Every structure is written in C-alpha cells, then in structure tokens.
A and B are shown apart, each in its own frame.
Chain A
Amino acid sequence: METLFFLLVSLVAIVSAILVVTCRNPINSALSLILTFFCLATYYVLLDAPFLAAVQVMVYAGAIMVLIVFTIMLLNIRVNATKSQSHKIVLGMIIGFFTLLNTAVIVFKSRVALPTGPLTGEIIKQQGHTELIGREMFTTFLLPFEITSILLLVAIVGAVILAKKKI
C-alpha cells in the first residue's frame, strides 16, 4: 500500500516537474512548481518528518511561491509567440541526461556506509519530530543558526536597495 502511494506521488511529482520546464507561460510553470512542492511535503510525511513537511508547505509553497507569482504578475510579461522560448535544447537535454545517469550509477553502485545515529521511528513518535529538531538546532547548530539571521538581514537590505529606483 505504501509502495503504491509512493509510486503515485512520484508520478505526480515528475509530471509536474516536467511541466515546470515545458510550459510557455511562467504562471503555469509556477503553479506546477507548487504541485511539486506539495509532493515533496508528502515525501517528508512518509519519511517521518512531519515538521519539515509543514515548513515545506508554509515556506516554499506559501512564502516563496507567492513572491514569485507576485513578481510574474507585477512584470506582466507578454509571451511572444513568434520568438522561441528556449535555446540549445539538445545540448541541455544531453547534459541533463548525463547528470541523471551519473547520479543513478552512484545510487545503484555505492553503499551507504556512514556512521548511523540512534534515531528510529519509535523515538520520533514518542518525543515528537518538532522537539527533536529544535533540540538539535539550538544545541549543536546554535552558531550556524545565529549566522542565518545575519544572512536574512543582508537579504532584506539587499532586496530593498535593488528594488528601489533611487536610494
């Protein structure tokens, strides 16, 4: 049953990802991308990471995609039917195919032999995924977490300066 569900979600994810690349209108691409993000959130639920699934829906499908759709509608780009929308299709397909081949060979030929941690499905269910993530983030990864806030501040200042016509 779980395998069937996994295959179904995979089908939707791959088809919508292909639509992101092939749609002529950027709005359709953006809507397909939102569908892909929802499929990824489903994968996170299947992988016992419900908090990450919620964050995926809120941050990606919510915040970032709203920003992108707003920009597309703000710029109001007319799709020029006569002008070609893409270039170097064959070269891009070849490079993408080799990327896929490369990763597939790595996945099937190699073996995951990293040190394993103590986490199992039962521990996640007992303690709660959110609590485990929070504990990890505020102890082991405290310094990167604080640096992240500086990154966001820089991004805010940069976005305001770039979008203004005159400072």
Chain B
Amino acid sequence: MENLNGYLIISAILFSIGTIGVLTRKNAIVIFMCVELMLNAVNLTFVALSRHLGNLDGQVFVFFVMTVAAAEAAVGLALMIAFYNNKESIDVDDINLMKW
C-alpha cells in the first residue's frame, strides 16, 4: 500500500466538496446527501489507514459509522416529511420556527 497519500487526498477532496454542499445548498435533502458524502469520505480514510497500519479496528469503526448513517437517514427523512406536511417546502430558509 504505497498509495496511502492518494487515498487520503481523495478523501479530503470528497470531504471538502461535501462541506461546500452543506454550506451552499438550500434544499434540505441535498444537504442531507452532502452529509452522507462527508461520512463516506471519512470512511475511506478509516479503511486506507487501517490497511496501511495492518490493524482491523478502523474497518470495524466503518461499520459503526454506517449504522449511525442508517439511523440518521431514517430519523432525518422522517423529520423532513413531518416538516413538509406543515410548510409545503423543505428549504432550510423556511425552517425558522425555533429561530430567536
């Protein structure tokens, strides 16, 4: 595995693209997908370093990250459906009920 830096750079690029998406988009579902992209970028770092160091702990961590992502998808999408039923929109600009 001489190519560790390549994997880490790809992971950094994907994470940055996800960050830009979270910060610039208005559609809540697209923001949600960008968060998934960031989680996957971190997973790639975990697997690359785990393989580089010859230690399986990182790959088990990837499983836990996937579990959290699945739980997050279920709850997050349910929240979006509940919000859409109230406001007929899923723009994050319209989510201002608890804004001070």
Contacts and interface: CB of A to CB of B under 8 A. Distances in A.
A91 B75 CA distance: 29
Nearest to B1: A47
B96 interface: no
Contacts, number: 221
Interface residues of B, number: 70
Q: Give the interface residue-count category, chain A.
A: 35 or more
Given A36-B40, A96-B23, A18 B17 contact: yes
B54 to A, nearest CB: 4
Interface of A: 2-3, 6, 10, 13-14, 17-18, 20-21, 26, 29-30, 33, 36-37, 40, 43-44, 47-49, 52, 55-56, 59-60, 63-64, 67-68, 71-72, 74-75, 77, 84-89, 91-93, 95-97, 99-100, 103-104, 107-108, 112, 114-120, 132-133, 136-137, 140-141, 144, 148, 151-152, 154-156, 158-160, 162-163, 165
